[in-house]
């Protein structure tokens, strides 16, 4: 049986006793069906993880922490994904897969052709949902560092907050393949539009902020497919999918 991994936002110390929050306790008991004495792995999102033993009674539970180790599986290429909001559960799926593929920062975007409009209260709830999805993806994929999940930004706000060396905006009207820099960048940003794509003005706005229009092949990719392809290409060329030099 695979040992479950659990995120807890707390310092980890060998021999410490950690009470389990209600939602974590419910997950271990009623979803994973674990019993008293089972072993789990815990991590705190800061490259620390530890073995732990589960202790349960009728209504409460806690963990006894074993040996704490520092272990990072983070890519040497820091990738910032700027993703326009999509309909339905598309954004949930993108966040899950982007975290598995090693993205370091994710900024949800509201653009001119976005079909999703949220009030401030709903936007806050949506950000928390996105963070929960990222935590779950870290638990599943073995990451010990939580990626940064930003609040929903306008395109102008997101462009102003981007500091990456290599910047791509995916745009299907672009004819040449993406150009690769001669020197290996330490950071990259990928800008993905909504179902209706970016307007010409938005592409111009992004280009003024240093984003290079690129496309991948002759077929138009869906808004939820494009980031997965782009992340894979960047990790293969500059990240930890690449063979050691």
Q: What is the CATH number of the domain that holds 19?
A: 2.40.240.20
Same structural domain, 60 and 88:
no
Neighbours of 51 (CB within 10 A): 17
DSSP reduced 3-state for 75: coil
Sequence-ordered list of residues with C-beta below 8 angstroms from that of 22, at least 6 positions apart, any chain: none
Q: Residue 73: its pLDDT value, please?
A: 92
195: tokens are: 């179902």
Q: Residue 243: its pLDDT value, please?
A: 61
244 assigned to some structural domain: no
Nearest Cα residue to 43 out of 20, 79, 11: 11
Question: Which of 70, 102, 117 represents a domain boundary (last residue)?
Answer: 70
Q: Residue 235: its pLDDT value, please?
A: 95
Q: Residue 66: its pLDDT value, please?
A: 95
Same structural domain, 193 and 134:
yes
245 assigned to some structural domain: no
Same structural domain, 114 and 228:
yes
Q: Residue 177: its pLDDT value, please?
A: 61
Question: Which of 46, 70, 94 represents a domain boundary (last residue)?
Answer: 70
Task: Using 70 as the pLDDT threshold, list the residues of the chain that sit under it.
Answer: 1, 115-119, 174-179, 242-245
Q: Residue 27: its pLDDT value, please?
A: 85
Same structural domain, 230 and 194:
yes
Output the pTM of the full model: 0.90
198 assigned to some structural domain: yes
Q: How far is CA 27 from the centre of its chain?
A: 21
Same structural domain, 47 and 30:
yes
Neighbours of 129 (CB within 10 A): 14
Q: Residue 123: its pLDDT value, please?
A: 78
| DSSP strand pairing (105-110 vs 78-84) | parallel
Which sign, positive or negative, has the C-alpha torsion 73, 75, 80, 82?
Answer: negative
145 assigned to some structural domain: yes
Same structural domain, 117 and 139:
yes
Please state the domain count of the chain: 2
Q: Residue 86: its pLDDT value, please?
A: 82
Neighbours of 241 (CB within 10 A): 16
Same structural domain, 125 and 210:
yes
Same structural domain, 200 and 147:
yes
Q: Residue 117: its pLDDT value, please?
A: 66
Same structural domain, 143 and 219:
yes
90 assigned to some structural domain: yes
Sequence-ordered list of residues with C-beta below 8 angstroms from that of 64, at least 6 positions apart, any chain: 15, 16, 17, 18, 52, 53, 55
Same structural domain, 19 and 116:
no
Q: C-alpha distances in angstroms, 104 versus 48, 116, 188, 195, 217?
A: 17, 24, 10, 24, 26
205 assigned to some structural domain: yes
Same structural domain, 180 and 95:
yes
Q: Residue 23: its pLDDT value, please?
A: 86
25 assigned to some structural domain: yes
Q: Which domain holds residue 13?
A: 5-70
Q: What is the CATH number of the domain that holds 127?
A: 3.40.1280.10
Q: C-alpha distances in angstroms, 67 versus 16, 25, 109, 220?
A: 10, 22, 41, 49
d(CA 124, CA 41): 30
């Amino acid at each position: 049986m695979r040992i479950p991994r659990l995120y807890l936002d707390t310092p980890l110390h060998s021999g410490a006793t950690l009470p389990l929050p209600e939602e974590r306790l419910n997950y271990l008991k009623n979803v994973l069906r674990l019993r008293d004495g089972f072993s789990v792995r815990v991590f705190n999102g800061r490259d620390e993880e530890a073995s732990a033993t589960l202790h349960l009674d009728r209504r409460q539970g806690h963990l006894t922490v074993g040996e704490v180790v520092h272990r990072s599986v983070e890519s040497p290429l820091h990738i910032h994904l700027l993703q326009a909001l999509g309909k339905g559960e598309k954004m949930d799926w993108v966040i899950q897969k982007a975290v598995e593929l090693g993205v370091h920062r994710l900024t949800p975007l509201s653009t001119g052709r976005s079909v999703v409009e949220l009030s401030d209260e709903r936007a806050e709830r949506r950000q928390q949902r996105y963070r929960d999805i990222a935590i779950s993806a870290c638990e599943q994929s073995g990451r010990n560092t939580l990626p940064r999940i930003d609040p929903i930004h306008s395109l102008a706000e997101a462009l102003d907050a981007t500091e990456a060396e290599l910047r791509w905006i995916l745009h299907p009207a672009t004819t040449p393949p993406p150009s690769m820099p001669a020197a290996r960048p330490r950071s990259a940003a990928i800008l993905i539009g909504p179902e209706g794509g970016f307007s010409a003005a938005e592409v111009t706005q992004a280009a003024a902020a240093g984003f290079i229009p690129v496309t991948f092949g002759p077929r138009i990719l869906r808004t939820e497919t494009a980031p997965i392809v782009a992340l894979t290409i960047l990790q293969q060329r500059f990240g930890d999918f690449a063979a050691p030099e």
